[in-house]
Amino acid sequence: MSYDALVVGGGISGMESAITLGDMGYRVLVVEKQASIGGTMILLSKVFPTLDCASCIATPKMAATVHHPNVTVRTLAEVEAIEPTEDGRFQTRIRSRARFIDEALCTGCSLCETACTVAVPDQFNAGLIGRRAAYIPFPQAVPKKAVIERAGTSPCTAGCPAGIKAHGYVALVRSGRYESAYELVLEATPLVGSLGRTCYAPCETACTRNQLDGPVAIRRLKRFVADRHLAPEPASPPAPDPGGGRVAVIGAGPAGLTCAWQLARSGHRVTIFEASSEPGGMLRWGIPDYRLPPAVVAADVANVTRLGVEIRTGVRIDDPVALRDRGYDAVCIATGTPVAAALPVAGAELDGVTDALTFLRQAKLDAAPDLVGRSVAVVGGGNVAIDAARSARRLGAARVRVVSLERRDAMPAYPWEVDDAESEGVELHGGWGIAGFVGDRRVLAVAPRRGTEVVDATGRFAPRYDDQVTRQVDADLVVVAVGMTRDDSPLAQLVPTEPQVAPLADPQTLATAVPGLFAAGDVVTGPSMITTAVGQGRRAAAMIDSLLRGRPADAAAFDRQLPAVDPAEVLGRQRRHTERPALAARAIDPAPLGFAELEPPMSEAEALQATGRCLDCGVCSECHACIEACPADAIDLGQADEVESMTVGTVVLATGFRLFAADHKPQYGYGRFANVVTGMEMDRLLAPTRPYDTLLRPGDGRVPERIAYILCTGSRDQQVGNPLCSRICCMYSIKQNQLLMGALPLADVTVFTVDVRAAGKGYEEFYVQAEAMGATFVRGRVAQIEETATGDLLCHYEDLEGGGARQAEFDLVVLAVGVLPNPDAHRLFPDGQLRLDAQAFVDEVDRDLDPGRTSVPGVFVAGTAAGAKDIPEAILHAGSAAAQAAAHLERIGPDR
Partner 1 sequence: MSAAARDPIEVVRDEMAMHAPIRRALADGPHTIPELAQALGRPAREVLVWVMGMRRYGEVEPVGEAGSDGYVRYRAIQGAGR
Binding partner 1 by CB under 8 A: which of 672, 806, 827, 891? 672
Smallest distance, partner 1 to C-beta of residue 757, A: 32
Q: Does 661 bind partner 1 (CB under 8 A)?
A: no
The residue (of 450 and 690) whose beta carbon lies closer to partner 1 is 690
Among residues 488 and 663, whose Cβ is nearest to partner 1? 663
Question: Considering Cα of 222, then 223, then 225, then 229, what sign does the dihedral take?
Answer: positive
For residue 583, state whether it binds partner 1 (rule: CB under 8 A): no
Dist. CA 40–CA 29, nearest whole Å: 20
Which residue's CB is nearer to partner 1, number 125 or number 303? 125
177-216: contacts with partner 1 (CB under 8 A): 177
Establish if 645 lies at the interface with partner 1 (CB under 8 A): no
Which CB sits closer to partner 1, 132 or 150?
Answer: 132
Alpha helices in 126-253 (DSSP H): 155-158, 166-174, 178-186, 192-198, 202-206, 218-228
Asked if residue 521 lies in contact with residue 253, where contact means CB atoms within 8 angstroms, the answer is: yes
- HSE of 66 in the Cβ direction (CA atoms, 13 Å)? 17
Interface residue with partner 1 among 441, 575, 761, 896 (CB under 8 A) is 575
What would the x/- binding string for partner 1 be over residues 365 to 394, using CB under 8 A? ------------------------------
For residue 326, state whether it binds partner 1 (rule: CB under 8 A): no
- Please tell me whether residue 347 binds partner 1 under the rule CB under 8 A: no
Q: Is 129 in the site for partner 1 (CB under 8 A)?
A: yes
Alpha helices of 375-521 — where are they, by DSSP H?
Answer: 383-394, 415-423
**Contact present, 190 and 249 (Cβ < 8 Å):** no
Report the residue from 67, 326, 442, 577 that binds partner 1 according to the rule CB under 8 A. Answer: 577
Using CB under 8 A, pick the residue from 27, 61, 74, 174 that binds partner 1: 174
Note whether 176 binds partner 1 by CB under 8 A.
yes
Spatial CA neighbour of 709 closest among 743, 752, 678: 752
| Shortest reach from residue 614's CB to partner 1, in Å | 8
Contact with partner 1 (CB under 8 A): which of 23, 102, 103, 113? Answer: 113
CB of 119 to partner 1, least distance (A): 4
Q: How far is the CB of 12 from partner 1 (least distance, A)?
A: 26
Closest distance of CB 819 from partner 1, Å: 23
- Does 703 help bind partner 1 (rule: CB under 8 A)? yes
Helices (H), 35-87: 54-67
- Comparing CB distances to partner 1, the nearer of 32 and 616 is 616
Q: Does 574 bind partner 1 (CB under 8 A)?
A: yes
Would you count residue 117 as binding partner 1 (CB under 8 A)? yes
**Residue closest to 450 by CA, chosen among 437, 461, 434, 462:** 434
Interface with partner 1 by CB under 8 A: which range of 124-132, 182-190, 347-355, 821-829?
124-132
> Which of 130, 243, 499, 666 forms a contact with partner 1 (CB under 8 A)?
130
The closest of 124, 38, 131, 55 to 681, measured between CA atoms, is 124
Q: Binding partner 1 by CB under 8 A: which of 128, 632, 661, 892?
A: 128
Closer residue to partner 1 (CB): 128 or 345: 128
- Rule CB under 8 A: choose which of 86, 325, 693, 801 binds partner 1: 693
DSSP 748: E
Distances (CA, A) of 715 to 662, 721, 722: 11, 9, 6
Shortest distance, position 269 Cβ to partner 1, whole Å: 36
Question: Which of these ranges, 159-167, 593-601, 702-710, 847-855, lies near partner 1 under the rule CB under 8 A?
Answer: 702-710
C-beta separation of 582 from 214 below 8 A = yes
| Rounded Cα distance, 283 and 274, in Å | 13
With binding defined as CB under 8 A, does residue 119 bind partner 1? Answer: yes
Binding status of residue 109 toward partner 1 by CB under 8 A: no
- Binding of partner 1 at residue 230 (CB under 8 A)? no
Stretch of 345-353, 557-565, 656-664, 668-676 contacting partner 1, by CB under 8 A? 668-676
Report which DSSP code applies to 602: P
Please tell me the distance from the alpha carbon of residue 23 to that of residue 20, in angstroms, as a whole number. Answer: 5
Q: Does 576 bind partner 1 (CB under 8 A)?
A: yes
> In degrees to the nearest 10, what's the CA dihedral of 32, 33, 37, 41?
-110
- Residue closer to partner 1 by CB (options 50, 790) is 790
**CB-wise, 696 or 883, nearer to partner 1?**
696
Backbone φ and ψ of 650, nearest 5°: -150, 160
Residue 573 interacts with partner 1 (CB under 8 A)? yes
| Window of 61-69, 121-129, 827-835, 849-857 that interacts with partner 1 by CB under 8 A | 121-129
Looking at the Cβ atoms of 23 and 787, the one nearer to partner 1 is 787
Q: Which candidate, 668, 672, 745, 664, places its Cα nearest to that of 708? A: 668
Contact 491, 321 (CB under 8 A): no
Write out the binding residues for partner 1, residues 779-818 only, by CB under 8 A. Answer: 787-791
**Binding status of residue 762 toward partner 1 by CB under 8 A:** no
> What does the alpha-carbon distance between residue 308 and residue 289 come to, in Å, rounded to a whole number?
28
Q: Is beta strand 339-340 parallel, antiparallel or unpaired with respect to 484-485?
A: antiparallel
- Whether omega before 49 lies within 30 degrees of 0, making that bond cis, reads yes
Cβ of residue 650: shortest distance to partner 1, in angstroms? Answer: 40
Interface residue with partner 1, options 2, 91, 107, 114 (CB under 8 A): 114
Mention every residue, 6+ apart, whose C-beta is less than 8 A from residue 153.
561, 562, 563, 564, 565, 618, 622
Contact between 548 and 511 under an 8 Å Cβ cutoff? The reply is: no
CB 150 within 8 A of CB 618: yes
CB of 124 to partner 1, least distance (A): 12
Q: Provide the 8-state DSSP code for 372.
A: T
Minimum distance from residue 266 beta carbon to partner 1 (Å): 29
Is residue 734 part of the contact set for partner 1 (CB under 8 A)? no
Distance of CA 349 to the CA centre of its chain: 53
Three-state DSSP class for residue 820: strand
Q: Which of 484, 485, 491, 486 is nearest to 317 (CA)?
A: 491
b/e per residue 285-298 (b: at least 16 CB within 10 A): bbbbbbbbbeebbe
Sole window of 321-329, 445-453, 631-639, 697-705 interacting with partner 1 (rule: CB under 8 A):
697-705
**Cβ-Cβ contacts under 8 Å for 104 (sequence gap 6 or more):** none
Compute the least distance from the CB of residue 454 to partner 1, in Å.
Answer: 45
- The H or E element that residue 875 is part of is helix 871-892
Among 546, 692, 796, 824, binds partner 1 (CB under 8 A): 692
Min separation Cβ 221 and partner 1, Å: 13
Binder among 124, 285, 673, 829 for partner 1 (CB under 8 A): 673
Q: Which amino acid is at 363?
A: A
For the sheet with 269-274, list strands across it.
310-313, 269-274, 246-250, 330-333, 517-519
* Site string (584-623) toward partner 1, x via CB under 8 A: ------------------------x--xx-xxx-------
In the range 819-848, which residues lie near partner 1 by CB under 8 A?
none
Size of the site for partner 1 (CB under 8 A): 52
Assess 691 for contact with partner 1 (CB under 8 A). Answer: yes
Residues in touch with partner 1 (CB under 8 A): 113-114, 117-121, 127-132, 171, 174-177, 573-578, 608, 611-612, 614-616, 669, 671-674, 691-694, 696, 698-703, 705, 787-791
